[in-house]
Structure 1
């Protein structure tokens, strides 16, 4: 008996080590990304964007943040296809992380002094995003390839995402106090470290797959249930994008915060979001995906509005904590739902599709948020974001609750 337990521990040790390594890669990507958010209006001004007014600053920042997410949207599925087609993941994760690191450094080199036209910097930002999504999406796909419950593996991804964003916001705010380009340098260093770390992770991709992108997408069309996690992921990322841009500027203008303080306020959302990811992923393995997704999404939409209605900074901070708790219910369960529904040899494309919809949500958050602020003010923008989140979930909820889901590996039907 003791020999069997020891053998099982020895077999699981590489899996646990790789789970930690992949989670750290995901962490590095999100940490570097969110470092830029607290002082993004200062950054785009230093890069040469002409944004004299508050709405002008929002527009220039939306273009800067949006350019990266356009790269995410256009290339997430491509990375997944290349990975599934070749039966390899690790080389693409390394290449994506290295390309993203170089992209951040190029922005620093080209942006100093505002000598280069802002449009060229947006192109560099797009290329940086196109590489970065390879490291992010395929690291999550590699977590899907690991043994153990899908909720556990996606919980590891979720806690990496939450921790990266939780630390990225306050640390980024403090880095802006040291210099407007310092967050870019640190982000590049984080992705460089992620590339080095990824070289030590074993490839567990299904070998010998010859599925073309058209065949894979055809099989995804045969699984219409994937539309549920894609839709929920879209809306959750929309509100995240909204807070990354509009929320940051709102806190700075309304409560007179500098970049460092704004980063701390954003961290009040991301800290509980991070700490609860793993236990909520395990919970979804035990109780199923439906309850966490339904309850968390509806509460999330309501709390978005509550953040704006809070009359003081202290109450707004409490609302941000509640927002993080609600988000933690949704994120790992939604990602695990993609894993439950996808075939083993389609996981790269399935997760790529999830990230495409999620990144479209981020783009929507930037675009819708800044447009509504310009047209009708912050109150209408917060109300729009909250109603979109809760409304889409409420409309989809009856069909989602009737969905016949496969059991997770740790809780089979």
Structure 2
């Protein structure tokens, strides 16, 4: 017999598997791109990571709108996971077998990203559909994301020690597991009860439902708040995935395994603290965790770039992880608070698209600045952008009367 608690665990497992698969690749991405035909390290790594997140941006809304239209999410989560599994294995096997150019590898990477985002975004949407409190549900998503990234960084570093393509095969296997787990989870999409009558509706009616779901993003401008903060959160994640990885290897002479440990110092507290911080946001509201976190986050990022030793840089990574854990579940819960039931898929897709744009910007901006002006300039730019976005957004955030929107109350 299924219960919200069991389904919460299974959905968190899907999110965990998707993020674990994704992050396995980060610690040794310069080695990976070399193995699939790249001739540069920083530039090729930047475009390899960017290709996936560009696809995330382009297709998150497609998956979300499709789930809102169908009133079904489970088969789409499974399809996205299994499609992503095929994409990861193809990335490992086809470049050598077919002598693909690096441009063709990037196209294949984009296809893998387009399918993977369906599993990730819709699994989070299914968590939104559960009862029990948005902070609790998004805390479960947050701890799954955090654990996936916390385990993925050091584990990926070890897998690169076996071979540069091994993380790709491992990622494919993880997404097969995610797809099978997803198939065991019942749909609780708000419109699922009306599937039978909806199936008899005309195509025009279906298109009308899509337009209605998409209009949610403009009809509810308050969604712009979590979207902006989601962008900021993921910007730094993208920055550390590329610039942090290359920086730790070049500045401190670390190999892939040690680099994975450094990334894990951020992701471990980020994972372990998300669920309790999500519960905290249910008690005290979203404003405090988001505003307090944003005020400190950018300074912590700059602190990592200024750290003179591996030990102090590691401490800085832990601090960034703790602050990120404070912000992330409250931000995701705010999406749940502000979105209507019939538009949750699109609302969460919009949040994930903004997050993916942030991750993509972190890769491209961080990589470009590091390449042109050096690593310290890149850390300062990343931290300054974080602080600037927070400074612009926080006054609007605080101007909202918490009594007029339950999302901001306890």
Same fold (TM over 0.5): yes
1:176 equivalent to 2:165? Answer no
Q: Map Cα deviations across residues 8-37 of structure 1 (whole Å, 9 max, x no partner).
A: xx8xx6111110000000000100000000
Once the two structures are TM-superposed, the CA of residue 391 in structure 1 deviates from its matched residue by 1.3
Task: Report the count of equivalent residues.
Answer: 395
Residue segments in structure 2 that go unaligned for 5+ positions in a row: 199-205
**Equivalent in 215, 229, 241 of residue 244 of structure 1:** 241
Partner of 2:406: 407
Partner of 2:202: none
Q: Map Cα deviations across residues 332-375 of structure 1 (whole Å, 9 max, x no partner).
A: 00000000000000000000000111000011011001110122
Partner of 2:143: 159
1:123 equivalent to 2:112? Answer no
CA RMSD of aligned residues (A): 1.4
Once the two structures are TM-superposed, the CA of residue 402 in structure 1 deviates from its matched residue by 1.6
Q: Map Cα deviations across residues 372-393 of structure 1 (whole Å, 9 max, x no partner).
A: 0122111110000001111111
Q: Secondary structure at the match of 2:115?
A: helix
1:43 equivalent to 2:32? Answer yes
**Equivalent in 278, 281, 284 of residue 284 of structure 1:** 281
1:328 equivalent to 2:325? Answer yes
Contact 2:19–2:148 (8 Å) recurs in 1 = yes
Once the two structures are TM-superposed, the CA of residue 412 in structure 1 deviates from its matched residue by 6.8
Contact 1:46–1:113 (8 Å) recurs in 2 = no
Residues in 1 aligned to 2:183 and 2:243: alpha-carbon distance in whole angstroms? 37
Residues in 1 aligned to 2:54 and 2:401: alpha-carbon distance in whole angstroms? 34
Once the two structures are TM-superposed, the CA of residue 59 in structure 1 deviates from its matched residue by 0.9
Map 1:92-131 → 2, pairs under 5 A: 92-112=76-96, 115-131=99-115
**Equivalent in 372, 377, 380 of residue 375 of structure 1:** 372
Contact 1:48–1:114 (8 Å) recurs in 2 = no
Once the two structures are TM-superposed, the CA of residue 396 in structure 1 deviates from its matched residue by 1.2
Q: Map Cα deviations across residues 103-150 of structure 1 (whole Å, 9 max, x no partner).
A: 000011112378211111111110100000000000000000000010
TM norm structure 1: 0.93
Contact 1:84–1:349 (8 Å) recurs in 2 = yes
Map 1:196-345 → 2, pairs under 5 A: 196-207=180-191, 208=194, 210=206, 211-345=208-342
**Equivalent in 115, 120, 140 of residue 136 of structure 1:** 120
Residues in 2 aligned to 1:296 and 1:243: alpha-carbon distance in whole angstroms? 18
Residues in 2 aligned to 1:273 and 1:113: alpha-carbon distance in whole angstroms? 39
Contact 2:56–2:353 (8 Å) recurs in 1 = yes
**Equivalent in 59, 76, 79 of residue 60 of structure 2:** 76
Q: Judging changes above 3 Å, is the alpha-carbon distance between structure 1 residues 236 and 347 closer, same or farther for their aligned structure 2 residues?
A: same
Residues in 1 aligned to 2:97 and 2:258: alpha-carbon distance in whole angstroms? 26
Once the two structures are TM-superposed, the CA of residue 159 in structure 1 deviates from its matched residue by 0.1
Residues in 1 aligned to 2:134 and 2:244: alpha-carbon distance in whole angstroms? 32
1:64 equivalent to 2:35? Answer no
Residues in 1 aligned to 2:276 and 2:127: alpha-carbon distance in whole angstroms? 17
TM norm structure 2: 0.94
Contact 2:245–2:259 (8 Å) recurs in 1 = yes
Deviates more, 1:195-204 or 1:108-117: 108-117
